[in-house]
């Protein structure tokens, strides 16, 4: 990740909550993208800091908020966990530095999957030296049970004596660290897996978009099918599972009420036949799940009719 130091934590949750609790207090405004992970919001709450939200992936709104409330901490995800959108990191970093803010980027869904060596989007974009803290869950591409913070050597020592999760939770066990070390070698040395992952994800996004699904500007391996109200999402889940397609149900409090969805997380091992099976299933169920009348589908048609790109979300998920 091209950082001075790193801290292994018990989980991504502990990394985010412990970090924010350590760097912010009741006098600190923390600027959070509305789709930032719930663990970042929990860190803000634990710190007693003031949460200042900004529209999803909207640097202009972020800058207006910073000008209004003053220097603080900016927290974003590099790849957002519910809809797979990618943060405009260069713009966020510019705003942070111009206005004296600390920058925190959660790389849970880009560490291992993005960059020539799997180093995540921040380092891949040449921004490692400009982002103060990067966090990650190692339960995603690394398939383990741990979290990570990339930081300065000085902060790594400070964290151990100030972070409540670091003080009051037991550490990782040697066999867990050994598993992560072995996985790291695969991540660094088998770049063909990343290439295949992005080929698979691009293919599936393109085909599902053609079928009329609103994919919310996903640019990653995370693809969300937003059915809307929770009962409709259960109908979608059942229709997919009846055809052997399994995704994760996201509903309140992981999403706003009536914005629930099924998240498909694509992997590099999927074959072309398996991808086509997903496409066929999504084609076949459209009437069964009443896809044409989903709120997300109507929004997509409205944007197409007006020639507008997908705009910022005014209310976002916290998952």
Domain boundary among 188, 210, 239: 188
> Is there a contact between 17 and 165 (Cβ–Cβ < 8 Å)?
yes
CATH number at residue 14: 3.40.640.10
Q: State the residue range of the domain holding 203.
A: 192-306
Instruction: Say yes or no to pLDDT of 22 above 90.
Output: yes
Give the pLDDT confidence of 105-144 residue by residue, as tens digits: 999 999 999 999 999 999 999 999 999 999 999 999 999 9
Q: What is the pLDDT of residue 312?
A: 44
Instruction: Say yes or no to pLDDT of 314 above 90.
Output: no
Q: What is the pLDDT of residue 260?
A: 97
* Pair 154, 44 in one domain: yes
Give the pLDDT confidence of 160-169 residue by residue, as tens digits: 999 999 999 9
The pairing of strands 29-33 and 73-77 is: parallel
Neighbours of 299 (CB within 10 A): 15
Residue 308 binned pLDDT confidence (cut-offs 50, 70, 90): low
Residue 10 lies in a domain: yes
Sheet with 102-106, edge to edge strand ranges: 5-9, 147-151, 133-137, 102-106, 73-77, 29-33, 50-54
Residue 310 binned pLDDT confidence (cut-offs 50, 70, 90): low
- Mean pLDDT for 254-278 is 96
Q: Give 57's contacts (C-beta < 8 A, 6+ positions apart).
A: 33, 35, 85, 87, 88, 312
Residue 307 binned pLDDT confidence (cut-offs 50, 70, 90): confident
* Pair 34, 149 in one domain: yes
CATH number at residue 263: 3.90.1150.10
* Pair 156, 225 in one domain: no
Give the pLDDT confidence of 167-224 residue by residue, as tens digits: 999 999 999 999 999 999 999 999 999 999 999 999 999 999 999 999 998 999 999 9
Distance in angstroms (rounded) separating the CA atoms of residues 58 and 106: 17
Least confident of 34-48, 73-87, 295-309: 295-309
Residue 318 binned pLDDT confidence (cut-offs 50, 70, 90): very low
Residue 314 lies in a domain: no
């Amino acid at each position: 990740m091209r950082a001075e130091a790193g801290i292994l934590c018990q989980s991504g949750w502990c990394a985010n909550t412990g970090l924010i609790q350590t760097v912010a207090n009741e006098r600190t405004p923390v600027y959070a993208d509305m789709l930032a992970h719930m663990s970042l919001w929990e860190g803000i709450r634990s710190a007693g800091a003031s949460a200042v939200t900004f529209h999803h992936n909207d640097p202009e709104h972020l800058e207006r908020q910073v000008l209004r409330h003053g220097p603080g901490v900016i927290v974003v995800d590099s790849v957002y966990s519910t809809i797979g959108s990618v943060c405009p990191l260069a713009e966020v970093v510019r705003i942070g530095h111009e206005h004296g803010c600390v920058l925190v980027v959660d790389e849970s869904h880009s560490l291992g999957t993005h960059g020539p060596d799997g180093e995540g989007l921040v380092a891949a974009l040449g921004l490692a030296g400009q982002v103060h803290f990067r966090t990650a869950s190692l339960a995603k591409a690394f398939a383990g049970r741990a979290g990570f913070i990339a930081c300065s050597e000085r902060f790594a020592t400070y964290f151990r004596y100030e972070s409540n999760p670091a003080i009051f939770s037991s550490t990782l066990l040697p066999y867990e660290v050994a598993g992560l070390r072995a996985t790291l070698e695969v991540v660094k040395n088998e770049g063909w897996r990343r290439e295949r992952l992005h080929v698979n994800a691009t293919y599936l996004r393109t085909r599902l978009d053609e079928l009329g699904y609103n994919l919310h500007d996903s640019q990653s391996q995370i693809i969300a099918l937003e059915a809307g109200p929770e009962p409709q999402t259960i109908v979608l889940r059942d229709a997919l599972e009846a055809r052997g397609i399994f995704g994760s149900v996201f509903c309140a409090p992981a999403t706003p009420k009536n914005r629930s969805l099924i998240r498909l997380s694509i992997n590099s091992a999927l074959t072309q036949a398996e991808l086509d099976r997903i496409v066929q299933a999504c084609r076949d169920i459209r009437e069964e799940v009443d896809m044409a009348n989903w709120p997300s589908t109507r929004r997509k048609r409205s944007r197409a009719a007006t020639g507008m790109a997908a705009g910022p979300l005014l209310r976002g998920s916290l998952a």
